[in-house]
């Protein structure tokens, strides 16, 4: 009986939306590109994101993204922000989210991964590692 | 504005200590007053920011804490903050017992859900149907899916693109109010709508 129940739960799970992607671009202003597997794509609202994408904004650029765990990140002009690793199980809220601001400005609202387990989310700069115990903060990395 | 704030930030460092800064971190206030904090590890040193506008400059000799302000944050981070996506929202609509028919009160709330979706340029909507614990698993799986589908169709009828709305059913597995099997509970007969 337990096994049957598990089978049904798995079927229902499979029917859930298949977010093969890790998040979505929600806001784009000015020049913004996304580096993916050696290619540079112009960022567009609605684009899906993949783990290891690198976002680059121009002098007039800004980008806002929403991740699958409901975390939201946005970068200002002249920024380079790398999604290094994103894994998320929507049922358990467990996952791992590591990113790095290499240059520029970033605003962060953490999501379900950090709420479930704060040590599973980190934002790095070239010299520091930030641990996320609460939800909203901003980071700047000087040139 | 951004430039003057940057000058202010670097001025603070020059006044404060000799090590040049490589960046800054500012903790923002929590909207609902919950506890919040960010830790910073740099060069073997650690700093904890746990008050609104607690901040640190990142320097070669480790994080140097200071008190920032709403004004400084707005000046330096205005563009990043302006690009922040809207917060996700969740709605719950309730159903008549054993049916895929919304209660009268919930029917009136569909407009609010629609308005929230319509104000987002690229919405993602997930509609999850649930039932109370009256009836078999098979019956409730079907009913929960029908409930989700009714809400999905109501949204599509208001011209929301079909590929933006996913409907799924969870049957009686996730009651809001835990009850014994076979118990009719209006609060469990619901559809949850997540709008991102």
End-to-end CA distance of chain B: 32
- A78 φ, ψ (degrees, to nearest 5): 50, 45
Secondary element (H or E) of residue A81: strand A80-88
Secondary element (H or E) of residue A123: strand A121-124
Considering the domain architecture, whether residues B110 and B188 belong to the same structural domain is answered as yes
Interface of B with A in 147-186 (CB under 8 A): 166, 168-171, 173
Between A5 and A52, where is the model more confident?
A52
pLDDT tens digits along A6-58: 444 444 444 334 445 899 999 999 999 999 999 999 999 999 999 999 999 99
Whether the Cβ atoms of residue B185 and residue B79 lie closer than 8 Å to each other: no
The tokens of B146 are what?
A: 């029908």
- Point out the domain boundary residue: B23, B56, B82: B82
For residues B159-166, give the mean pLDDT: 90
Would the pTM of this model clear 0.90, i.e. be above it? no
For residues B107-114, give the mean pLDDT: 93
Between B42 and A93, where is the model more confident?
B42
Largest CA distance in chain B: 72
For chain B, the domain total comes to 2
Considering the domain architecture, whether residues B110 and B143 belong to the same structural domain is answered as yes
- B42 φ, ψ (degrees, to nearest 5): -155, 125
For residues B120-134, give the mean pLDDT: 93
- Is there a contact between B38 and A66 if contact means CB atoms under 8 Å apart? no
Share of chain A above pLDDT 90, in %: 79
Considering the domain architecture, whether residues B10 and B34 belong to the same structural domain is answered as yes
User: B59 to chain A nearest CA, in Å?
Assistant: 9
Share of chain B above pLDDT 90, in %: 80
Between A52 and A3, where is the model more confident?
A52
pLDDT tens digits along A68-85: 999 999 999 999 999 999
CA–CA distances in Å: residue B180 to residues B64, B183, B191: 56, 6, 20
Q: What is the pLDDT at residue B2?
A: 47
Q: State the Cα–Cα distance between residues A76 and B191, nearest whole angstrom.
A: 37
Q: What is the pLDDT at residue A20?
A: 53
B6 alpha-carbon distance from chain centroid: 30
Nearest of B149, B128, B100 to residue B195 by alpha carbon:
B128
pLDDT at A64 over 90: yes
User: A33 to chain B nearest CA, in Å?
Assistant: 15
Considering the domain architecture, whether residues B93 and B23 belong to the same structural domain is answered as no
Considering the domain architecture, whether residues B128 and B72 belong to the same structural domain is answered as no
3-state secondary structure of B28: coil
pLDDT tens digits along B174-187: 999 999 999 999 99
Which chain A positions have a beta carbon within 8 Å of B9's beta carbon?
140
Secondary element (H or E) of residue B142: helix B137-157
Of all residues in chain A, the one with the smallest CA distance to B174 is A9
Q: What is the pLDDT at residue A11?
A: 45
Place of tokens 């993916």: A36
Whether the Cβ atoms of residue A116 and residue A140 lie closer than 8 Å to each other: no
Q: What is the pLDDT at residue A21?
A: 81
Which chain A positions have a beta carbon within 8 Å of B86's beta carbon?
26
Rg (CA), chain B: 25
pLDDT at B16 over 60: no
For residues B118-129, give the mean pLDDT: 92
Of B21, B84, B126, the CB nearest to A107: B84
By the CB < 8 Å criterion, does B3 face chain A?
Answer: no
Nearest of A137, A84, A77 to residue A108 by alpha carbon:
A137
- Point out the domain boundary residue: B63, B82, B101: B82
| Residue-range definition of the domain harbouring residue B101 | 89-195
3-state secondary structure of B77: helix
Contacts of B109 (CB under 8 A, 6+ apart): B91, B93
Considering the domain architecture, whether residues B106 and B176 belong to the same structural domain is answered as yes
pLDDT at B113 over 70: yes
pLDDT at A101 over 80: yes
Between A9 and B99, where is the model more confident?
B99
Q: State the Cα–Cα distance between residues B111 and A121, nearest whole angstrom.
A: 36
The mean of the pLDDT values for chain A is: 88
Interface test with B, best of A46, A122, A127 (most B CBs within 10 A): A127
Share of chain B above pLDDT 70, in %: 90
The mean of the pLDDT values for chain B is: 90
> In chain A, what are the domain boundaries?
21-141
Q: What is the pLDDT at residue A33?
A: 98
Interface of B with A in 100-119 (CB under 8 A): none
Q: What is the pLDDT at residue A1?
A: 44
Q: State the Cα–Cα distance between residues B59 and A126, nearest whole angstrom.
A: 11
Q: What is the pLDDT at residue B89?
A: 93
- CATH number of B103's domain: 3.30.1330.60
Of all residues in chain B, the one with the smallest CA distance to A65 is B85
Considering the domain architecture, whether residues B99 and B164 belong to the same structural domain is answered as yes
Per-position DSSP letters for B152-181, written without gaps between them: HHHHHHTT--GGGEEEEE-TTSS-SS---T
Q: What is the pLDDT at residue B9?
A: 52
For residues B90-115, give the mean pLDDT: 95
- Interstrand relation of B125-129 and B165-169 (parallel, antiparallel or unpaired): parallel
A23 alpha-carbon distance from chain centroid: 6
């Amino acid at each position: 009986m337990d096994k049957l129940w598990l089978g049904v739960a798995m079927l229902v799970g499979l029917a859930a939306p298949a977010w093969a992607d890790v998040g979505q671009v929600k806001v784009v202003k000015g020049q913004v590109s996304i580096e993916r597997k050696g290619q540079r794509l112009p960022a567009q609202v609605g684009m899906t994101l993949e783990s290891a994408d690198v976002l680059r904004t121009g002098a007039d650029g800004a980008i806002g993204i929403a991740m699958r765990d409901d975390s939201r990140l946005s970068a200002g002009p002249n920024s380079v922000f790398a999604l290094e690793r994103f894994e998320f199980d929507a049922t358990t809220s467990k996952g791992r989210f590591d990113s790095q601001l290499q240059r520029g400005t970033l605003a962060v609202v953490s999501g379900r991964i950090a709420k479930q387990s704060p040590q599973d989310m980190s934002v790095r700069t070239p010299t520091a590692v930030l641990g996320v115990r609460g939800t909203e903060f901003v980071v700047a990395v000087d040139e | 504005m951004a430039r003057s704030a940057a000058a202010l930030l670097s001025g603070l460092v020059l006044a404060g200590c000799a090590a040049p800064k490589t960046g800054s971190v500012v903790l923002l206030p929590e909207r609902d007053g919950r506890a919040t904090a960010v830790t910073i590890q740099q060069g073997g040193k650690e700093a904890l920011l746990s008050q609104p506008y607690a901040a640190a400059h990142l320097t070669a000799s480790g994080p140097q804490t200071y008190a920032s302000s709403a004004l400084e944050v707005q000046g330096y981070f205005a563009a990043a903050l302006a690009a922040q996506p809207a917060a996700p929202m969740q709605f719950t609509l309730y159903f008549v017992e054993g049916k895929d028919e919304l209660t009268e009160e919930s029917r009136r709330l569909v407009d609010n859900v629609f308005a929230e979706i319509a104000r987002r340029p690229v919405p993602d909507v997930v509609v999850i149907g649930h039932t109370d614990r009256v009836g078999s698993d098979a019956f409730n799986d079907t009913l929960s899916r029908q409930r989700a589908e009714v809400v999905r169709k109501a949204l599509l009828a208001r011209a929301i693109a079909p590929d933006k709305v996913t409907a799924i059913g969870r049957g009686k597995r996730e009651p809001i109010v835990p009850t014994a099997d076979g118990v009719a509970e209006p609060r469990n007969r619901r559809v949850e709508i997540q709008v991102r």
